[in-house]
Structure 1
Amino acid sequence: MSAYSVGHSGDERDIQGITMQILNGAWTFVRAHPTNTICTILLTVGIGVAGWNALYGQQNIHPAPFWGQTETQSQSRTADTATPPATVPPAPVQRSVQTQPVPATDNAPTSSISTSSAPQTAIPAEVTGNPTTFHIQKNLATLGIFKEKVDGYYGPKTATAIRAFEAQYGLESTGAVSEELLTKLENTVRSGQTAAPAQTSNADPLAQIAMSAADDSTASAPQSFSRDYVIKIQKGLYSLGFLQGAIDGVPGAQTERAIRQFEVFNNYRETGEITPELYDMLLAANASFE
């Protein structure tokens, strides 16, 4: 019994001696190589944390595990990866859209007078725009020639209606707004005369185009104006910010460019020319001639 105890104690002393040797050797290595020891410890800890996270720290099932899956895990994964049902979008609601007629404006270019059997144009009680242009449009509407809105603003449709009136009463076809024209219209309306209906609804379309081209060529014929009239036009363009050059009464390139910019801005036919209608258009745009 005592021999066993002595032998057993000897084994324990041998184990303790070996352990102490290992610890002393490790401590000696740590003291000799502190940097390598720290890096080794950090690498070991990192690998251990990553391994534990991969094996036990994932809430979802790994797509390619090292070990087999249980039946419950397999069913859960199948339920999670099931294709969701396709959502069918609702059928679009079809709405009926009623096309509204676009109201005609006097600024839109035209080449003929409307002769449809439309009701007479409503004439406003108060004067709007240029007074002379307003009364001319009013009288032309009373005679059934002008079918558009009476607003006092001169435009291609007003010029076309004026030419139609002048042609029906044997006057020179100019399409211009003037006091003489206003007086003639007032006398015609006061005397109870009515304008002859324009014979364009049943006419040959080629003839209508030819007549329109003739009117346009007559209206666009070059005219000479006095220096004072040109200065007045230049002042009007300058007051509206279109003319940047000198006001000298000479219709040069700068004046032509200003007229074109004014016509484009107000949706008029672009000509760049000084015409009798240009003064009325500037006046309708509230230009200053002083």
Structure 2
Amino acid sequence: MAMAMDTAPAEPVEIICGDGVVLGGHLWPAGGGRRTGTVIINAATGVLARYYHRYARFLGEHGFDAITYDYRGIGLSRPNDLKHCGYRWSEWGTRDFEAVLGFARQRRPDGPLFVVGHSIGGFLPGLAGNAACIDRMLTVGAQYAYWPDYARSHRLQLLWRWHVLMPLLTAIYGYFPGRRLGWLEDLPGGIALEWSFRRRRVEDSHPRKEREEVLARFAAVSAPILAVTASDDEFGTVPAIRRALAYYSSSATTAVRLLPQDYDLAEIGHFSLFHDRHRAGFWRDTLAWLQDGVNPWPHRRFETMG
């Protein structure tokens, strides 16, 4: 593994999508003049990109150019009028991630290109039309929020919050007021409702004429995928991880289920692995995959086919 090195401060970037929407983000340059590749960090639903800034800086310290960005409707990419923006969840993949991927490839045409995707951020790459250029992916708790896959012990609570209250509040306000509730960030109405009414098959949320194209885009991705989840992740259960990975039919997939005691913790959950308390543990372990394509947790592997 590369030794840690100094890295330059983050540079604000603006990335223009094909439909003219401008995304706000940051570029974290590789330190020390050595570049191992570019890593795009895809956030979870309703989570600001700044939550991943410390991990992005860590990657910069270890020779990667790292890119963080907010999806349309969120944070630096939030429009003035959230109620009437008309954004759809699938556009985070078909337009936003596609544009960021193009930005990264244009900036470094010949270098390796990696993706770290948290939660829905590990599923979105398959919706982009240019994702065949990805060299390797690391996903963390990646799934698409099909409620029967939630952990049994949390299922009723999550069902009530995200599939009953969220669409109800969205109907009342015209958008989902997550920030005032302390439930992640505000979301455009179309994105909140697509989450609330997610079907068993993601393509069924698209018009019938688009469904074959959705599946073809996933099949075009050939990057090896290491899918990580935690044993106490209420969203990223084994069935949820398997369901999401099944769409990447052309990729070699490896899935691991970490235990809190692997890092001397009482719990991990869905969100904590990008907190900087994991710098010397989980973060350092991820370098084995990003730098060399080696699974650092072979003893935690589970079959990706149920």
TM-score bin (small chain)? under 0.3
Normalised to the residue count of structure 1, the TM-score between the two structures is 0.23
Considering only CA atoms, is the larger Rg found in Structure 1 or Structure 2? 1
Q: Which structure has more RCO (C-alpha within 8 Å, separation ≥ 6)?
A: 2
The structure with more helix, counted as a fraction of residues: 1
Normalised to the residue count of structure 2, the TM-score between the two structures is 0.22
